[in-house]
Chain A
Amino acid sequence: MNIASILGSLGGPVLVAIVLFVLGIVFRAGFSKSLRGSIYAGIGLAALFVIVNNATATLTPAIQAFAERFDTNLVVTDVGWASAGIAFTWPGLAFVIMATLVVNVILLTFKLTKTMWTDIWSIWHGQVVGGFVWYLTDNVILGVIAAVIFLTIGSWVGDFTAKKYQEFNGMPGISVPCAVSFLGVFAGPVNKVFDIIPGFNKLNASPQNIRKTFGIFGELGVMGTVIGIVIGLLAGYDYAGVLNLGIQVGVLMIFLSKTVSVLCEGVIPIANAVNELVSEKFEDREIYVAVDCAALLGHPSVMASAVIIYPLAVILAIFLPGNGIIPIASLALIPYWCGAVAPYFKGNVVRIVTFTLLWMIPVMYIATHMAPLHTDVMAELGLGDPDALSSSFDMGGDVLGFIITKIFSLFS
């Protein structure tokens, strides 16, 4: 028995717990905080496996039935942030954390970035890119390099969008290097285009009225159940099947984020220890501290835009020629997209909705295209069924992640 086979037999959740425990000790989070954190992270990840397996078992047959009945290409199951499972179970997890920290500290020291990105939770987006590249090239090091490149570009995108986000949200000193900020880079120029379209440039809508009109249908649990019912009807299920599918999709929407929440709760004390250690080195510099994109969702225009987009996204997916994925779990990502672009559209709901729906088009095509790779990687890591096509907007459909993965695939 060698190390590799021992580690391989442990499985994702246990490995994550061990890696995080060691990181916690190394970065001086303390024994009990590291132990508790690592256990909760393992539990969260194991629970993620449970929810994803349940979702694909109930949802995939329905989606296949619907696709067959109507002879469409919509065969990909959207598992949303279950893709984060790849981030925490691929072999390069610890290496990407260490490498990103080292690169970030070097860039900060030489003033090549202003963003101190030590939030080891948020780097999961880059970890998934690493996972894709590792699988394609069978090379962990290439995966690590790809992940670090993705994340470094992220910190520059964070720099670029920082002032806008700080002003709009009234929060000085922050930067948001999350994958969604990439939308912010394009939102600025697009807003200038919107300005010169006659008629359209005068349109807006009141966030408060929108929230009131949508009521409970703006909540993901209700929205998910409605979508599940619609899919059940389209799949030709009987009334019991339709209603039960609705509830199962509701389970996915609510409990996926609950498992991620527990996983996060485990990572937080270790992430904070890393944060404190690094920020002490840069105390007297003008740096932006990287925060999660959830900080950008406060303006009323953000959630108002999101609730309008939920049903429109599903309709768009169904009618977009050649698209293979109906967004279900990935609908939870939409508020983050809106939050990333709202400052550039000055809270204009009409513009936020329009831009986000337009952005969704390439994302859906990319997510469809990446579905086989996504499915294979998930299956390889014990996260899913190799015969059930799965993908997600984040990170299956991520534009920057796709570009980097494609470039690195030339090395396979």
Chain B
Amino acid sequence: MNKLILCVCGGGINTSANAKITIQDYIEDMGIYDIEVRHAMIGDIETLNGRKNMVVVWMTQKNEEYNAPGFQGITYLIGTKKKKAALTKEIIEKMDEIYVEL
């Protein structure tokens, strides 16, 4: 199962898409090409609950009950370039930590 970063917001249209595009840019700059980045709305993510090799970037408040490591992602909208890069690094590190060959 491939690595997936899932960006979630309330509508699945703007905010999460924005985070997805930004994250894709940053990880490509880091030379990483084996992570899929997707965006979705908060009402549609139940089917992915518990998926392996997935990190969730919440553009809303974090849902602690969702079965995947999560990060608060509003930095991708309001933070400086430095903060965005630092958050991306944290996310990649978490992904490496939880990755299992399936």
**B-binding residues in A (CB < 8 A):** 121-122, 168-171, 173-174, 218-220, 257, 260-261, 264-265, 268-269, 271-272, 283, 289, 291-300, 302-303, 335-336, 339
Contacts and interface: CB of A to CB of B under 8 A. Distances in A.
A218 B45 CA distance: 13
Given A257-B13, A298-B42, A268 B72 contact: no
B10 A170 contact: no
B78 A289 contact: yes
B8 to A, nearest CB: 8
A219 B41 CA distance: 11
A169 B62 CA distance: 9
B51 to A, nearest CB: 19
A177 B21 CA distance: 23
Interface in B1-60: 9-18, 21-22, 41-44, 58-60
A298 B77 contact: no
A381 to B, nearest CB: 22
A170 B59 CA distance: 11
Given A292-B15, A339-B10, A219 B63 contact: no
A294 B42 CA distance: 9
B74 interface: yes
A218 B43 contact: yes
Contact of B9 (A122, A257, A268, A295): A295
B10 A297 contact: yes
A264 B41 CA distance: 14
A294 B21 contact: no
A298 B11 contact: no
A295 B60 contact: yes
A194 to B, nearest CB: 23
B21 A269 contact: yes
Given A219-B44, A291-B78, A298-B58, 8 more contacts: A170-B72, A174-B78, A257-B13, A272-B22, A294-B13, A294-B16, A296-B60, A336-B11
Pairs A-B, 5 closest by C-beta atoms:
A298-B60, A297-B10, A294-B10, A298-B61, A289-B78
Contacts of A264: 13-14, 17
A1 B60 CA distance: 50
B9 A297 contact: yes
Contacts of A171: 61, 72, 74
